[in-house]
Amino acid sequence: MRKRGFTLIELLVVIAIIALLMSILMPSLQKVRKQAKHVVCRSNLKQWGLVWTMYLEDNNGKFPDYLADNWMRQLVQYYSNANALLYCPMTTKTAEEGAPVRYAVIGTAADPKGSYAINEWVYSSDDTGGGRKLEDYWRSTNHKGLSNVPVMGDAAARSDGQPFPIDTPPAFEGEPRAGVGTAGNEMRVFCIDRHAGAINVLFMDWSVRPVGLKELWTLKWHRSFDTSGPWTKAGGVLPADWPQWMRLFRDY
């Protein structure tokens, strides 16, 4: 019997079919990969919840005072896998190295500082500069409504932020804060599109969940924070009031 191989046309048809299947499957594979990284990010923040719990137990239930360099130093004795916990898996390199803001590691290539930022209002601080009030600091977990009080979350540019309800959203993703205190617009530290219109946040009851970017203004950042402020639906904000890059995100 004569042996017969594939013809050129048959090979081209098979290759075309494989290419078509790959083009159909690739978006799904990319989506699955992003979802997996999203889950790992939330797992990291859950681990930070355990770290904070241990720290508070050893310090009479009090959060630390503000540390000018970074908050990680206060907790270094409570974790060993720093490289795993300090970085959201969606982040790759610093903005200095060309990473988009949403996926950028905080700091510089020579001095990276992870990809999460702390809510400075949790500190046991005596800083009243820039319009800050002593009674607005949380200082401990001895409060009600902790499920809406952010401790830390995905961030870019800085490893800490002190949002106010009057903070304006960034005109473009990655717009730096304007100053300090009430004039600082430090909500911009957290307002990045890292997880499909949301960031992951660790709350003071040690729960973790994704928070929509516009939802950030409805969280209880400090003790007298107005969760119905000017950048919420309850406060009268309109879809057209948001910067163009945020208008398609869900309203809160």
Q: What is the pLDDT of residues 137-151, one digit of tens each?
A: 999 999 999 999 999
Is 3 domain-assigned? no
Whether residue 35 lies inside any domain: the answer is: yes
DSSP 93: E
Q: Supply the range of the domain harboring residue 227.
A: 8-246
Judge whether 251 lies within some domain: no
Average pLDDT over residues 149-156: 96
Domain-embedded: residue 2? no
Residue predicted with more confidence, 176 or 242 = 242
Name which of 148, 137, 143, 121 is nearest 202 in CA terms: 148
Is residue 1 a part of any domain in this protein?
no
Domain assignment present for 39: yes
Task: Provide the pLDDT for residue 4.
Answer: 64
Conformational region of residue 197, where left means phi above 0, alpha means psi within -120 to 50, and beta covers everything else: left
The total of structural domains in the chain comes to 1
Structure confidence by residue, pLDDT tens digits, 85-139: 899 999 989 988 999 999 999 988 888 889 999 999 999 999 998 889 999 999 9
- Name the CA dihedral angle for 222, 228, 229, 235, rounded to a multiple of 10 degrees: 180
Please tell me the distance from the alpha carbon of residue 21 to that of residue 75, in angstroms, as a whole number.
48
The reply to whether 25 falls in a domain is yes
Rounded to an integer, the average pLDDT of 158-182 is: 91
Q: Would you say 118 and 68 are in contact if contact means Cβ atoms under 8 Å apart?
A: no
Q: Residue 2: its pLDDT value, please?
A: 59
Mean pLDDT of the chain: 89
User: How sure is the predictor about 27, in pLDDT bands with cuts at 50, 70 and 90?
Assistant: low
> Is a pLDDT exceeding 70 seen at residue 28?
no
Q: Which secondary-structure segment (H or E) carries 53?
A: helix 8-58
pLDDT given at position 33: 74
Classified as helix, coil or strand, 196 is coil
What would the mean pLDDT of 192-196 be, rounded to a whole number? 95
Lowest mean per-residue pLDDT among 50-64, 170-184, 224-238: 170-184
Looking at residue 111, its pLDDT comes to 87
Among 180, 65, 43, smallest CA distance to 116 is for 43
Residue 195 lies in a domain: yes
pLDDT value at residue 78:
87
**Whole-number pLDDT of residue 72:** 82
